[in-house]
A and B are shown apart, each in its own frame.
Chain A
Amino acid sequence: MEFFLVQLLNGISYGLLLFMLSSGLTLVFSLMGVLNFAHASFYMLGAYFAFQLSTWIGFWPALALAPLGVGAIGMLVERFGLRKVHRYGHVAELLFTFGLAYLIDEAVHLVWGRSAVDYRVPPDLDGPLFSIFTSQYPTYRGFMMLVSVAMLVSIWLALTRTRIGLVIQAALSHPQTVEALGHNVPRVFMLVFGGGAALAGLAGVIGGNAFVTEPGMAASVGPIIFVIVVVGGMGSLAGAFIASLLIGCLQTFAVALDWPLFFGLKLSQVAPVLPYLLMVLLLIFRPKGLMGTREG
């Protein structure tokens, strides 16, 4: 029972981190139609910014400032890069973000070196939150879950209950009409892209010290967030949320169970492949994903 409960909590908290990572990606895709390959790099930038800021002014200001910084970079990228590339179509956009990911990687190498940096969990959030029988549950994981859920709720409220949210939604399907009504549509897109980058940055602030802040961190999460977006349904926020929890729990429980499979392999050994297997199966049997609205 203890084992099951702890693993369930592990699975949910990992899933919620995956959601933080993928929400910005799916948002930018659903609102702008841009599949941003540099999304994981914004995650890495968030972690490095938070590291740098927390050595100067502490963790709490960094928690707010680092995502804003990453968001600002995202907006600059949209304003001076993506907007120009947009008119050449989706392939050009893909290639642009692909190149951008390499640029950010190299920039991080140059500024912070090739090794891990010493970015730690702040003392206020260090230590156990509560105990389940004899296992401790770390406070920081609880904090991670809280931020992730808060993020989901606030994105949803912002998109459906605020004026700017309505303008954003309208600008996607009827840009000319929205423009005719006096809204600056390019600026709306700039805000959306910056917002997506800021969400990735926030995930970096939280994930960077929970795990390790090093130049390989973007590459290590890149594939899994695409799996989540595809499984959840391209552009569906609720789908991404469900897919994140599903994949988080799937991986955690697969590791926990030593069920024998074939060729002497154990289930725990194939755990990391399961999300990709899920993606392939879903693409075959339900190409639009769990909650997606568009085909292919």
Chain B
Amino acid sequence: MRKLMMAAAFALPMFGAPAMAQETLKIGYIDPLSGGGASVGEVGLKTFQFLADELNAKGGIQGKKVEIVPLDNKTNPQESLIQAQKAIDAGVRYLTQGNGSSVAGALSDFVTKYNERNPGKEVIFLNYAAVDPDITNSKCTYWHFRLDANADMKMEALTTYLAKDPKIKSVYLLNQNYSFGQAVAKAAKEYLARKRPDIKIVGEDLHPLAQLKDFAPYVSKIKAAGADTVITGNWGNDMSLLVKAGRDAGLNVDWYTYYAGGLGTPTAMGEAAAGHVKIIAEYHSNVANNKAAKWDADYRKQAPKGNPDFYYLRGKVMWDMLAAAINKAKSAEPKAVAYALEGMKYDAELGEVEMRKTDHQLIQPLYVLTIVKSAAKGGPKEAKIDMEGSGLAPVTNARLEGYTSAQPTSCNMTRP
């Protein structure tokens, strides 16, 4: 009896699957859902499920319902490829991933090879957050689309803003020791030398990724070097612990960051951050003329515990552009959709964006923002929406149009 039941359990989904495939558009979401990166992966998943529900309520894309297939990769490139294969075997033709450039590089490579071997069954990879510039330069491929500004573009925008502040004289670079952190440090040195040759780089450190507890020794080093500004690509605990240690030691610097804006970091930094932490991002909740305000508010009602903020506007842009490309191609066949998607200009919530044809990198307006005390805690009145209930809120310092941060690309992709 038990054997029979097990056989039935295996067989039933097999009968079910092909019938479903006709009516649904499956998107394989490959990101960490367990282990250290799980809190970040969970936010992406909730955001995409929310956007899918939204789309389905309006009748889906070309009459097809959208379904998110969550796949746990434990932030591991090897595991990601196993999950990708599993997804493809289950009829998924669209993959999306964002956490970790090492994973994105491996997936992009995998998808390209798979598509070469399986003509007619192509798969598209939509990258919503992995920002290593190489993926759209030397390692670019036709099947990969990046919806986030890459590390170089963000540094371009950040240094454009930083260069206007004459008070900044000496900068310290502190980054995580892996491809992304190294890319941030390299770009910072290059762009500062071009824009403000008088600024001195007084120190540079690469520390191990997500292993440190105590940043006090680094803070003492920054202080001893006499820096007035720190540029860092740190994310997660590496970001919050750094700012906290800085406050404890009375370190008086401004932090120019990529990822201090969400996913638990504002909560962990606490009031130490107010007025001193700047972020480069494509969106924040207090942005002026926010056409995404409704989604922002709706999303908050079903956000995961501890992560109430709407963080991934680019996730929404990704969905909308995918829907537009499918409508334009009048087909959900990835090959036709990729052709429709490249070069597409789209009127997004915060201005026009373009999926650049040469390297499949989205060109979009970026914002430099500062974390301040929220309006409820005595901050400026535009600091209306609080981050994670932390009493901190983002305000805009500058909006930088897409063309100002666009970088030349060395991409030379082969088109099918």
Contact = CB atoms under 8 A, between A and B. Distances in A.
Interface in B196-225: 205-208, 210-214, 216-218, 220-221, 223-224
A154 B205 CA distance: 40
Contacts of B216: 10, 13-14, 141, 252
A135 interface: yes
Given A136-B250, A138-B249, A221-B213, 6 more contacts: A113-B39, A116-B267, A211-B213, A220-B237, A268-B205, A269-B177
A136 B216 CA distance: 11
B241 interface: yes
Contact of A215 (B39, B210, B270, B390): B39
A157 interface: no
B42 interface: yes
B263 interface: yes
B213 A269 contact: no
A187 interface: no
22 contacts: A14-B214, A17-B214, A112-B305, A113-B304, A113-B306, A114-B304, A115-B305, A115-B307, A116-B39, A116-B237, A118-B389, A135-B220, A136-B249, A207-B213, A211-B213, A214-B264, A220-B211, A252-B216, A255-B221, A269-B177, A272-B211, A272-B212
A114 B38 contact: yes
Interface in B227-267: 237, 240-241, 244, 248-250, 263-265, 267
B36 interface: yes
A212 interface: yes
A241 interface: no
Interface in A67-117: 109, 112-117
Given A114-B38, A115-B264, A216 B224 contact: no
Q: Which 9 A-B pairs have the closest CB atoms?
A: A115-B306, A113-B305, A136-B250, A114-B39, A113-B306, A138-B248, A116-B264, A255-B217, A115-B264
Interface of B: 35-36, 38-39, 42, 177, 205-208, 210-214, 216-218, 220-221, 223-224, 237, 240-241, 244, 248-250, 263-265, 267-268, 270, 304-307, 388-390
Contact of A116 (B177, B213, B214, B240): B240
Nearest to A219: B36
A137 to B, nearest CB: 8
A7 B220 contact: yes
Contacts of A134: 223
Nearest to A106: B34
Judged by DSSP, the binding face of A is helix
A269 B218 CA distance: 11
A137 B216 CA distance: 10
A285 to B, nearest CB: 26
A65 B222 CA distance: 38
A2 B217 CA distance: 13
Interface in A246-290: 251-253, 255-256, 268-269, 272
B205 A114 contact: no
A211 B267 contact: no
Given A114-B39, A219-B36, A272-B211, A135 B305 contact: no
A3 interface: yes
Contacts of B237: 116, 211-212, 214, 216, 220
Contacts of B270: 118, 120
A43 to B, nearest CB: 11
A291 interface: no
Nearest to A252: B217
Interface string A15-40: 00100000000000000000000000
Contacts of A13: 216
A256 B220 contact: yes
A2 B220 CA distance: 10
B391 to A, nearest CB: 9
Interface string A211-255: 110111001110000000000000000000000000000011101
Nearest to B39: A114
**Which of B208, B214, B218, B389 has the largest count of A CB atoms less than 10 A from its CB?**
B214
Contacts of A120: 270
A272 B208 contact: yes
A220 B237 CA distance: 11
